[in-house]
Structure 1
Amino acid sequence: MRSRQIGATLLSAAALVGSLAACGGGEATTVLQKATNDKKLTIGVKYDQPGMGLKKPDGTVEGFDVDVAKYIAKELGVEESGITWKEARSANRETFLQQGQVDLIVATYSITEARKPKVTFAGPFYVAHQDTLVRADDTSITSLDSLKGKRICQVTGSNSWKNIAEGTNLQSKKIDVTLVAAGAYDECITKLKGDALDAVTTDDMILAGYAKREGSSLKVTGAPFTDEKYGVGLKKGDKETCEAVNKAITKMYSDGTIKTLFDKHFSGTGLNFTATAAPPAEGCA
């Protein structure tokens, strides 16, 4: 009789544990569940891109991507005080997501077909366009075609150089250029100013941030040749969080926050906010 009582007690305990897990007491399996349960998130952003993601001397980070990330986190239930920021370079973004080192990445992360097998993308939350940054006294580079024979920066992990050298641009033109390797865009700017290359070509928002920081020494040519759909990177398969982030992006446009953030970081750079609604979502594959 005693063994039966013990068995019944164990079964009841197992049922209670199962019930608690079903009610949210178990380990979170999606970023949305983690945000709901822990009120904390680790978010990957750039640390070296003025206007987009920049780490300041006091250790805080600022920029358009950073503010977008804060808005999305709050919509998921996490206040700014619950965010841990982590530097996400172009070369390590997929690895960080796969290894769980970050929960979200908002770091000038263009949605591409090549990245989709490795990353689930929410968004896009903004569509930028690739352009070119040159020294202010350079009049030889005014268009995609005029990059022929020039030295351009090749940042590890970025696809920007491919859009020129491999022809994945709106004009489908392959331009014969010389690639100069760099680990990050800040290194590109140093090389450009030091005459170690002729042009830095990537998204216009990134270039505008650098041009604003450097003052009159550099200029953006104003001849865009791609569409860059900025997405929010998630670990592959996290459809639940992706759908929640897409709702947050839609709200960010409908309540006017996205334009406020754009104007905050890019007013006076020559870039204009023209979107009237959130870009169509790519789908949470």
Structure 2
Amino acid sequence: MRINRAMRVGIGAAALALAATVTAGCGGGSDKSALENAQDGKLTIGIKFDQPGLGLRNTDGTYSGFDVDVAKYVADKLGVKPENLTFKESPSAQRETLIENGQVDLVVATYSINDKRKEKVDFGGPYYIAGQDLLVPTANTDITGPDSLAGKKVCSVKGSTPAQNIEKNYPQAQLQTYDTYSLCIEAMRSGAIDAVTTDNVILAGYAAQSPGTFKLVNKPFTTEKYGIGLKKGDSELRGKVNDAIQAMIDDGSWKAAQEKNFAGTGFAVPAPPTVDRY
């Protein structure tokens, strides 16, 4: 059968339309704002899947940790029930992209607030203040703080604030970066890494998960303010998230969540942070 010019044009237009539909479907983002999604009774929140005590996907498919509890509390204040929440894994290096593309409505994933990130996203909070520390094998006596890292293989996560801090301020260390902290932990377990560095509360969770195997150096050398990441310029959402964090602090849920998730780690619950209303 011969295909005339009109038919060729029609077929070409149909193919372009189909390609556009497939491309849009592959993007994974939402055209709705986070508040519009909340009004529909659903939210997608980015968390870590591999951080005991903070954001952990359990073997039964459930999620646990302080970040998870914060996410559920904030979502509830936005009108979304826990059963209507979707948790999406948000590795450190992907958090801004996930927010910008609309693949998540919020990120609650040990997300340190800094000026560089605020160029791309906004933050509610802080909801927690941590400090960078070092985790080492229990038998290690050489590493006593960041100034003793010369020649040592130190692992952190790609794109994370702790990795950038080691690279900039402790160049004598041999920094190695992986996609997740759990990979750093396994590398140290096998002897390929001398120390893992990130915020003390994250490291405490790993230490508690493997009693007697690892220990915290307990020499924090930074101050990290954890915020809830959200789309740049959404001041209404940021205000509601800040209100929710303040309510969690005021009604005792914030303290209770920490006591539940960090039990046995040796951490005393710190004073709550002051919510930044910038």
What amino acid does structure 2 have at the position aligned with 1:32?
Answer: L
Q: What residue in structure 1 maps to residue 217 of structure 2?
A: 221
Determine if contact 1:126/1:279 at 8 Å carries over to the other structure.
no
Confirm or deny that 1:281 pairs with 2:244.
no
Partner Cα separation in structure 2 for residue 176 and residue 278 of structure 1: 33
Matches within 5 A, 1:132-147: 132-147=134-149
Return the letter of the residue paired with 1:77: G
Conserved? CA contact 1:66–1:106, under 8 Å: yes
Instruction: Structure 1: give runs of 5+ residues left out of the alignment.
Output: 1-26, 168-173
What residue in structure 2 maps to residue 65 of structure 1?
67
In structure 1, C-alpha distance between the alignment counterparts of 2:273 and 2:135, rounded to whole Å: 28
TM-fit CA distance, 1:156: 1.4
- CA drift at 1:280: 3.5
Q: Are 2:36 and 1:33 equivalent residues in the alignment?
A: yes
Aligned-residue identity in percent: 49
What aligned pairs does 1:98-247 form with structure 2 within 5 A after superposition?
Answer: 98-167=100-169, 174-247=170-243
Q: Tell whether 2:104 aligns with 1:94.
A: no
Q: Distance in 1 between the 2:48 and 2:163 partners?
A: 19
- How far the C-alpha of 1:159 sits from its partner, in A, is 1.9
Matched position secondary structure for 2:186: helix
Question: Partners of 2:275 and 2:240 in 1: how far apart?
Answer: 15
Equivalent residues, number: 249
1:11 maps to which residue?
Answer: none
Distance in 1 (CA, whole Å) between partners of 2:99 and 2:275 is: 24
Whole-Å Cα distance in 1 between the matches of residues 93 and 147 of structure 2? 28
Alpha-carbon deviations, 1:245-266, whole Å to 9, x = none? 0011111111111110000011
Residue equivalent to 2:15: none
Query: Quick one: distance in 1 between partners of 2:220 and 2:48?
Result: 23
Deviations 1:142-201 (A, max 9, x none): 11211222110131121212212312xxxxxx4411012311100000011111111101
CA distance in 1, matches of 2:217, 2:277: 30
In structure 1, the partner of 2:52 is 50
1:250 match: secondary structure: helix
User: Aligned equivalents of 1:95 and 1:187: distance in 2?
Assistant: 22
Q: Any conservation in 2 of the 1:250–1:278 contact (CA below 8 Å)?
A: no
Letter paired with 2:265: T
- 1:147–1:175 Cα contact (<8 Å) kept: no
TM-score normalised by the chain length of structure 1: 0.84
2:210 alignment partner, SS class: helix
Q: Contact 1:133–1:201 (CA<8 Å) still a contact in 2?
A: yes
Task: Indicate conservation of the 8 Å contact 1:50/1:210, yes or no.
Answer: yes
- Cα root mean square deviation, aligned: 1.5
SS of 2:215 mapped into structure 1? strand
- Identify the match of residue 260 of structure 2 among 261, 264, 270: 264
Q: Secondary structure at the match of 2:197?
A: strand
Q: Which amino acid aligns with 2:161?
A: N
CA contact (8 A) 1:124 1:282 kept: no
- Rounded to whole Å, the distance in 1 between the matches of 2:237 and 2:74 is 11
Letter in 2 for 1:256: G
Q: TM-score, normalised by structure 2?
A: 0.86
